[in-house]
Every structure is written in C-alpha cells, then in structure tokens.
Amino acid sequence: MDDDLTLALFDRQMRREARPDHALSRVERVGDVVRQVGPGEMWNGVLWSALDEVGADAAIARQVAEYGARPDVESFEWKLYSHDRPLDLGARLAAAGFEAGEAEALMVAEAEAIAAIEAPLPEGVELVQVTDADGAELVGAVHDQAFSVGTGARVTTRLLAQLEAAPESVLALVVMAGEQPVCAARMDFNEGTAFAGLWGGGTVAEWRGRGIYRALIAHRARVAVERGYRYLFVDASDQSRPILARLGFAQLATTTPYEYRLR
C-alpha cells in the first residue's frame, strides 16, 4: 500500500466528495467547507476544508452561525486532520469556542490482508449480528461500560436509525458471554468508495486481552472483502492503535475532533 496515494484517495472519497453516513443526513459544500447536516441525533460536522490564513476565521464563524440556526442540533464537530491547512487551524477553532477532544490515529489497511489473519474468538463467547432495537440496546450497553457512561444512548439511537433507514449500509455486531454483552463493533459501508469504516470495537474491562477485538477486526475484514471494498480504515485510540499496527494497519494521519456546543 502506498501511504501517500492512499491518503490522497481517502481525502477525496471520504472527505472532499463524501456521501452522507445516514439516509436522514445530507452532505453540503459551503464555500471551501464540506459538512454533514442531519437531525439532531445524527452526526453533524465538518468533514473537509480547503482554507487559508485569510479566510479561515470567516469560514469557521459561518459554520457556527449556520449550525446554530438549526434548533434540533445541540452541537457539531469539526473533524480536523493533521495535514489540513492552515497549519494553525486547530488553534483558530479553539479561539472560536471549539473544544478539542482526544486525538486519534487514522489507520488504514488492505482489507484482503486483514481478512487472511487467523483470529478466532475465545471460548465462552458468541458473535451475534445486530438487526433490531434489542440488539442496538446491547451495543449501547457495551459503550457505557467500555468507554464512558452516558455515551451508549446516543450510539443506540444512531445505530437503530441507521438499521431502520438503510440496513445495507452497516454491519453491527455484539459479542455475548451468556446473557452479558462484552464487546460491540460496527462497520459502515461507504457506497461508491474503496473504504469501509470500522467503528466501536469497545470491550468491557474484564474481557480485554483475550483476542476479541482482534477477532472482530478480522471478521469485519472478511465481510468487507465480500462486499468489494479494498481498504479498511479506523480512527484509532491509543489503546487500539498498537493492536492495529501489529495486524498490519498503517497510520496515515492524526485526526482530532473539535466540538462546538451550540446550546
């Protein structure tokens, strides 16, 4: 995989020419900014920009004003990548009232290479595909335990809306140990692109270190290959980045979410 060419393709297909990640949302180009807008429970935010030092502040102010005019949107995100311009865009966002979240690594790999990895689930657990509200609740429960309490409700709402509106666009999975959900993950299929996105991958504390995360990566890779996708990409935390690197993912950039609370 040529990292530079792959990053350029990612920027074009997944950012500059992005399609909405949900049937209820839409992607708009406003000047030199590409953004997604949708109902309040969906993800709202800036996906790509081509700004310079002269126009950056005005573009930021315009996004704040236009998202702020939507009464159903409580916050939106400016998804900043390490190679975005101008070089001080992060500082400009912070000065405008955005709050930076935890930086993550953009990790990309050839799907076929990851699909070939032997990564069985440990004994005592079962992999279940999520297709309904009960399953979406289980995914939310894992997020509350694996990440932070309070994150699960929004994850559940978004996933259920996606399953209802466009079930072919997502693969959601939960790993069960008896009646207990211990890991959850999903994969988004970005139609018309070479990239399938891996999201979630949260494992409750007492089940970490047993290969479940690795097994879900390999399983989703096999599905991505079956669906015709060449690449997998992940916004990886510090916890998952070393695992992905050992599996063969390459870090192409760093991405930082800048959130603006509107109300």
Q: Is residue 56 part of a domain?
A: yes
Q: Is residue 260 part of a domain?
A: no
**Same structural domain for residues 98 and 131?**
no
Report the pLDDT averaged over residues 241-252. Answer: 96
The answer to pTM > 0.85 is: yes
- Tell me how far apart the alpha carbons of residues 44 and 156 are, in angstroms, rounded to a whole number: 16
Domain end point (choices 89, 105, 121): 105
Domain harbouring 206, CATH code:
3.40.630.30
Q: Is residue 174 part of a domain?
A: yes
Sequence-distant (≥ 6) Cβ neighbours of residue 12 within 8 angstroms: none
- Domains contained in the chain, number: 2
Q: Residue 65 in contact with residue 98, Cβ under 8 Å? A: no
Domain residues for the domain of 40 are 3-105
pLDDT at 40: 81
Q: Residue 156 in contact with residue 192, Cβ under 8 Å? A: no
Per-residue model confidence as pLDDT tens digits over 43-54: 999 999 999 999
Domain end point (choices 105, 128, 147): 105
Per-residue model confidence as pLDDT tens digits over 64-112: 999 999 999 999 999 999 999 999 999 999 999 999 999 999 999 999 9
**Same structural domain for residues 166 and 236?**
yes
